Structure 1
């Protein structure tokens, strides 16, 4: 599989397919429904699955933060905030209603299902994310920022659903102090991650410029910052996912402050390579280039890791789906989510926004589901649920698992097929408008 993807990578960029569309059937074939080579029961391996999915998600969230170069004062940030917060606040109740009446779930399980399926995926959405760091395209910037924000902001709703399913450790999200607890977890996550990312970036750049120390090992620097931001923020009851995203934003902000404005078609070539230097060490210690070199090296390494994380997690999704099986409810819910709930939530969130009708429709369509949903599903399966009267607790987990995995699989296929042609169509229209 690795060799095949290495050989076909350039072809996949031209075809209306995504790498995940190849990984998913491979996982399904490996699972018990076909070959039976791998048996992986979600409930029995929930802790392991949670850990693997968390690592993949953290890598991706940090990478997303590094891609978003526009200053926070730029008005373009209003779009990802609208999608990552407002659209999700509409999506979760609508999926909850569908869970109650379509899937016949109790309220706690329906809220949990809504919180699991609400986040868009920062890993599988790479085809519609920012390609060039100077890019101000509203669709790419909005979808990239949304993927970084809503995996963290969905966490309180996951805990609320678990609290209503009788999980004691989630009780703090279902009492009179819920609002203050949620506000603190968001503020601590974003603020703590930003401070740590800024401090680490400044320390490294200062050591390199003044003393020619802390050279090399940018790979360790990036992974270390992810671990520090997540762990330290979780210790103060912040949302670690938001912290890692904010740490990436802070590191990118240091670079953008030093490098200044970039052309969208040139990226950081202007900042890193326009002046002649003898080697990497001179780049890493150059007064004008050190921050750009550090940030781009960390970003490049993380993007490579993200490719491996995508392969692993989508193959695991196929294996899990092979074990649990497709859900008819999941198929119906996926169609409802893609064609009704997501467009409605985006339309509400973007009321009054400065976007064209085509941009609005594309943002509505690309609500891609993936690793974030798998993580929250595995996270929830670690706990023992208590079902209300009329429901069997032991039947809820397999039912929700089957629905979530079916929705994710359909998203991988439907969005994977449509991403390349739709974005190419959008690019051509934009080019004609600029020429006209």
Structure 2
């Protein structure tokens, strides 16, 4: 009589086990690491490395074979993070909210974009199109990884003007990077004679799409508030699922803006900000915020475990001195200097606050999305090198900014007023 095999160690079951464990870690690690000199993405990258070292099916992670999948996953993570950031903005129509981030967006972001493009061309011999793409995708501050230094949750007063500025900057600059990603795509698909297509790029991909994202975002945020809280009774409101409402506030503005040809990233952030502006019930807002934060944590955990596997499986390529040098120049020099220049003459904030706003241009999930989007839309000869450089920059940013974040947070507590 044959004895049945009771144990099933199939790849599918092992993957389910790993995903479940990572999700469990996403729920527990943030509390365990509270006030520690290390952040969650560092732990997830380490877990990914261990999975690679002890796994049998992770000889190589080929990002170029999974461009569309990575694009869609990172797209969802970014829009959830943008909703979360928008819900924290209490006064989106006040100059106090934008008095520092405005200058970071207007001055620091373009400088970072141009300087990063030049450095990648100079050190890595990127063609103009690839250099422009790298400058565009790496310039925006990431709303996902910047959460450790973002402003307080909706029910609390803004804890500091520095955190408020980092939140508002991270919320809007992902959308503003899209026109320049299109510029790189047009450059390689339509030719370097930009006089033939630059007018169309400016009016459609810069002016129209930004404007449509703004209109859809503000309108949808207001309409969703009216539908939920003005056209329903108090008794009915208590039965509305905050999770469902959070997802609606995330997906509807994004989808409608994209359908109408606008930038969904801008629409999502502004919809959440507009909703936060009109909804003053602290409990409602905290519930919305907490749900989006939980979803964000789960996907960040899964994504950075995969990044850890990719790093370990491609370590020899990612340790190329030219890649490391380019990434370090961006993180330690280009963004800090660009940020400092943008804040020159601002005498109402301290030197330390200027340093924080300048230095903490964290790179992350948004950069991965833009890269995958561009690689899916056009063929860049340096595709593999672009992936490697972006990965190195993100990993170094996670470690450099993550390890120093708790020290910065404690110091910022001394500047705990938003004036």
CA separation of 1:8 and 1:195: change in aligned 2, threshold 3 A: closer
The alignment partner of 1:368 has SS state of: coil
Pairing partner for 2:375 from 381, 391, 405: 381
Note if contact 1:204-1:214 (Cα within 8 Å) is conserved in structure 2. Answer: no
**TM-superposition CA deviations, 1:19-38 (whole Å, max 9, x none):** 1110012223334x774533
State yes or no: 1:74 paired with 2:83: no
Q: Residue 236 of structure 2 corresponds to which residue in structure 1?
A: 212
CA gap of 1:50–1:191, structure 2 versus 1, over 3 A, is: same
Q: How far apart are residue 112 of structure 1 and its match?
A: 0.4
Which whole-Å CA distance do the structure 2 matches of 1:96 and 1:247 have between them?
32
Question: SS of 2:325's equivalent?
Answer: helix
Out of 36-45 and 209-218, give the one that drifted further.
Answer: 209-218
* 2:113 equivalent to 1:92: yes
Whether the 8 Å CA contact 2:101–2:165 is kept in 1: the answer is yes
SS state at 1:340 partner: helix
- Tell me, in whole angstroms, the C-alpha distance in 1 between the residues paired with 2:92 and 2:166: 17
CA distances 1:191-217 after superposition (whole Å, capped 9, x unpaired): 211101110111110133377368322
1:11 & 1:313 partners in 2: Cα distance? 20
Stretch of structure 1 that moved more, 302-311 or 312-321 = 312-321
Distance 1:172 1:144 in 2: 37
Residues 125, 93 of structure 1: alpha-carbon distance in 2 compared, 3 angstrom cutoff: same
Is contact 1:251–1:295 with CA below 8 Å preserved after alignment? no
Q: How far did residue 330 of structure 1 move?
A: 2.4
Write the deviation string for residues 38-64 of structure 1: whole angstroms up to 9, x where unpaired.
343111110011000001011000110
Of the three residues 55, 59, 80, the one matched with 1:59 is 80
Kept after mapping to 1: 8 A contact 2:97/2:168: no
RMSD between superposed Cα atoms in Å: 2.5
Q: For 1:403 and 1:173, how far apart are their aligned partners in 2?
A: 31
Q: Classify 1:3/1:180 alpha carbon distance in 2 versus 1 (closer, same or farther; 3 Å).
A: closer
Separation (CA, whole Å) in 2 of partners of 1:139 and 1:44: 40
| Map of 2:250 onto structure 1 | 226
* 1:401–1:419 distance in 2 versus 1, CA, 3 Å: same
How far apart in 2 are the matches of 1:166 and 1:34? 43
Unaligned runs of 5+ in 1: 260-288, 387-392
The answer to whether 1:366 aligns with 2:360 is yes
* 8 Å contact from structure 1 (residues 69, 253) kept in 2: yes
Query: Given that residues 26 and 297 in structure 2 are in contact (C-alpha distance below 8 angstroms), is that contact kept between their aligned partners in structure 1?
Result: no
2:328 is aligned, of 332, 335, 338, to: 335
- Change in Cα spacing, 1:310 to 1:176, as seen in structure 2 (3 Å) is same
Structure 2 counterparts to residues 209-358 of structure 1, below 5 A:
209=233, 212=236, 215-255=239-279, 259=280, 289=281, 292-325=282-315, 326=318, 327-353=320-346, 354-358=348-352
Q: CA deviation at 1:183?
A: 1.3
Identify if the C-alpha distance between structure 1 residues 350 and 300 changes in structure 2 by more than 3 Å, giving closer, same or farther: same
TM-score normalised over the length of structure 1 = 0.83
Q: Is the 8 A contact 1:122 1:148 kept in 2?
A: yes
Distance 1:130 1:378, change over 3 A: same
- Contact 2:23–2:302 (CA<8 Å) still a contact in 1? no
1:157 aligns with 2:180: yes
1:370-409 equivalences in 2 (<5 Å):
370-385=364-379, 393=381, 396-409=382-395
Q: Pick which of 35-44 and 152-161 moved more.
A: 35-44
* Aligned residues of 2:45 and 2:304 also touching (Cα < 8 A): yes
Residue 384 of structure 1 deviates from its aligned partner by 3.8
Q: What is residue 262 of structure 1 aligned with on the other side? A: none
Q: Helix, strand or coil: the match of 1:44?
A: helix
Alpha-carbon spacing, 1:4–1:213, altered in 2? closer, same or farther (3 Å) = closer
Per mean C-alpha deviation after superposition, the further-off stretch among 68-77 and 52-61 is 68-77
Q: Secondary structure at 2:345's aligned position in 1?
A: coil
Q: List structure 1 segments (4+ residues) > 4 angstroms apart after TM superposition.
A: 1-8, 171-174
| Residues 179-218 of structure 1 aligned to structure 2 (within 5 Å) | 179-181=202-204, 182-209=206-233, 212=236, 215-218=239-242
**2:206 matches 1:147:** no
> What TM-score, normalized to structure 2?
0.86
